[in-house]
Amino acid sequence: MTTKPTVFITGANRGIGLELVRQYAAAAWRVIATCRNPVGLGELARLHGEIEVHGLDVTDDNQATALAKELDGTAIDVLINNAGVYGPNKYSLDEVDEDAWTQTLRVNVMAPLRISNLFTPHVAASTQRKIITVTSKMGSIADNASGGVYIYRSSKSAVNAVMRSLSHELRDQGIIVTLLHPGWVKTDMGGPNALISVEQSVTGVRGVIANLSGEQSGSFLNYDGTEIPW
């Protein structure tokens, strides 16, 4: 009897996270889906497959620790840090809100590291052993040709640095740690003028994840598998 592979997804109730749940469940994976408020799940509750939903605010230490303990003994083949926020829509230098900046860093940078650390034993016990963080090309310093968007850009640059460091720390356990840019996607965050659909993005992301090798641990990749400059 073949055991189903297991994927753990944060921010799973909408956008890219919801489509990740849909596609992995359709591919006969066991899906552990998390979101801040599991009450009134809407579309997530209507998906078919082996899906279990847990409430998780990724910035809440107690919730995250409790969930890791609840899932003790569960092997997680692929952990996807998908939960994230854009932060304020005001971009200019004079409009930077330091409190909002701090909160964005908590969600986009500190939380992915915390979740990855808490669930490292679960990932290490699996067959595939992959930790993926959904990042953005806007975190690329080399690609920044327009400036502005200080809060979101800096949060994604920071999580890139954090996960690159984590990739070295977990290498001896055979865990692949990779950063993935999903493209400019037509979601609530990406807006209606984005270039690709959520279905296209997630299909690409899943393909990249499936084909990751140990040599790619610590890489910053596009949803089509191409490398993005730091």
Q: What is the pLDDT of residues 88-117, one digit of tens each?
A: 876 678 888 999 999 999 999 999 999 999
Interatomic CA distance for residues 131 and 77, integer angstroms: 8
For residue 189, give Cα distances in angstroms to 84, 88, 111, 167. Answer: 10, 12, 19, 28
Which run of H or E residues covers position 34? strand 30-35
Q: Is 152 a catalytic residue?
A: yes
Residue 4: CA atoms inside 13 Å, Cβ hemisphere, count?
A: 15
pLDDT at 121: 98
pLDDT at 184: 83
Burial 12-46 (b: 16+ CB within 10 A, else e): bbbbbbbbbbbbbbeeebbbbbbbeebeebeebee
pLDDT at 195: 76
User: How many helices and strands, by DSSP H and E, does the chain display?
Assistant: 7, 7
**If we measure between CA atoms, which residue out of 217, 214, 223 comes closest to residue 185?**
223
pLDDT at 189: 63
Token duo for residue 137: 């090309």
pLDDT at 140: 98
Strand boundaries in 85-139, DSSP class E: 130-134
Taking only the tens place, the pLDDT of each residue in 34-72 is 999 876 668 898 999 999 999 999 999 999 999 999 999
Interatomic CA distance for residues 143 and 138, integer angstroms: 7
pTM exceeds 0.85 for this model: yes
Which residue in the list 90, 91, 130, 156 is annotated as catalytic?
156
Q: How many CB atoms lie within 10 A of CB 137?
A: 16
Interatomic CA distance for residues 191 and 200, integer angstroms: 15
For residue 204, give Cα distances in angstroms to 33, 137, 153, 213. Answer: 20, 15, 23, 16
Q: Is pLDDT of 188 > 80?
A: no
DSSP character at residue 43: G
Residue 181 β-bridge partners = 222
